[in-house]
């Protein structure tokens, strides 16, 4: 079997060729992403995208492990990173280690991701020193949506920049092998990328980040309204609508099954 991309390999990509990351939640789509991506993220966005939850707050360890197992089975070369769900890591470094070890042990993933800046640095250090590679996530952190009061682009006021840069620097210094920078103004994303030793993976950030990530279903056009930072590289939702409508019409007018679809 081909060896998977490792955390040290990603770390070494700082300032080099851009890191390609995408989400996947299922084995068949992970298999499609695998040949093209360095990192496949099993994001807790799966709560909203595939389970119909209103936010990522209700996502459980069991959901992350089940989808994580599917994505690891469906892929062979990309590094699989699994999001730690809300409530599974914030309490203490010990709680985070217990749950991260369970995620790694039960799925075979290469790393976990957790949200938060300076306040999570001791936890990130605790995990990395004990064999669990950690991807950081700063800027707009969706698990804090209730305290933020919604999804808001970060860094619109320059007096907030020092805090955001410190967050990313502390996460990198604690040992994160890469950091997702989400939903920040472009100039702040550039300042963060320049300031930290770990590669930054942008989403709603800047083309000058060390890599980019999108939610697969968003870039394939499978989800509804998407924010400005998403580029739809395909319109599979519209194709699916048409295919389903064609099927329904064919069933109703007995055009399906046809001669080629029956056993004689
Ligand atoms: O959950 C997710 O999909 C994510 C990415 C958008 C970074 O955290
Ligand atoms: Na996430």
Tell me the per-residue pLDDT of 19-42, one tens digit each, with 9 for 90 and over: 999 999 999 999 999 999 999 999
Q: Does the annotation count 182 as an active-site position?
A: yes
Calculate the average pLDDT of the chain.
Answer: 97
Identify whether residues 121 and 249 lie together within a single domain.
no
Residue 160 to residue 96: CA distance in whole angstroms: 28
- Based on the fold, state whether residues 243 and 148 are members of the same structural domain: no
In this structure, the answer to whether residues 122 and 196 fall within a common structural domain is: yes
Distance CA 142, CA 204 (A): 13
| 1: in domain | no
Structure tokens at 145: 């949506």
Do 181 and 135 contact (CB within 8 A), yes or no?
no
| 31 and 126, same domain (yes or no) | yes
Nearest-CA residue for ligand 1 atom 8 is: 43
DSSP designation for 158:
G
Which pLDDT band holds residue 80 (cuts at 50, 70, 90)? very high
Are 216 and 262 members of one domain? no
Asked if the model's pLDDT at residue 1 lies above 70, the reply is no
Are 182 and 242 in the same domain? no
Residue 140, in any domain of the structure: yes
Site to probe by mutation for ligand 1, drawn from 46, 134, 213, 222 as the one with most ligand atoms within 8 Å of Cβ, is 213
> Is residue 121, in this structure, part of any structural domain at all?
yes
Q: Domain span at residue 261?
A: 236-264
Measuring from each residue's beta carbon to the nearest atom of ligand 1, which residues come in under 6 Å? 23, 41, 43-45, 83, 180, 182, 203, 213, 215
Same domain, 215 and 258: no
- Is 243 a member of any domain? yes
């Amino acid at each position: 079997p081909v060896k998977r991309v490792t955390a040290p390999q990603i770390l070494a990509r700082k300032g080099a060729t851009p890191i390609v990351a995408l989400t996947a939640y299922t084995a068949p789509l992970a298999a499609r992403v695998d040949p093209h991506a360095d990192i496949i993220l099993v994001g807790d966005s799966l709560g909203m995208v595939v389970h119909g939850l209103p936010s990522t707050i209700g996502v459980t360890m069991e959901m992350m492990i089940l989808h994580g197992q599917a994505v690891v089975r469906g892929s062979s070369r990309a590094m699989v990173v699994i999001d730690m769900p809300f409530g599974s890591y914030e309490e203490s470094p010990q709680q985070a280690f217990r749950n991260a070890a369970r995620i790694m042990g039960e799925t075979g993933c290469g790393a976990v991701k957790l949200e938060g800046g300076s306040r999570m640095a001791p936890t990130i250090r605790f995990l990395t020193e004990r064999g669990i590679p950690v991807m950081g996530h700063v800027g707009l952190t969706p698990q804090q949506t209730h305290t933020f009061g919604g999804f808001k682009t970060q860094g619109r006021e320059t007096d907030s920049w020092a805090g955001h840069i410190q967050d990313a620097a502390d996460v990198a210094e604690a040992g994160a092998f890469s950091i997702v920078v989400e939903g920040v103004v472009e100039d702040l994303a550039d300042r963060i990328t320049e300031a930290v030793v770990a590669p930054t993976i942008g989403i709603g950030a800047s083309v000058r980040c060390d890599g980019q990530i999108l939610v697969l279903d968003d870039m394939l056009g499978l989800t509804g309204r998407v924010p400005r930072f998403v580029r739809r590289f395909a319109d599979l939702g519209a194709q699916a609508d048409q295919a389903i409508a064609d099927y329904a019409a064919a069933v109703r007018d007995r055009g399906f099954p046809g001669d080629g679809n029956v056993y004689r």
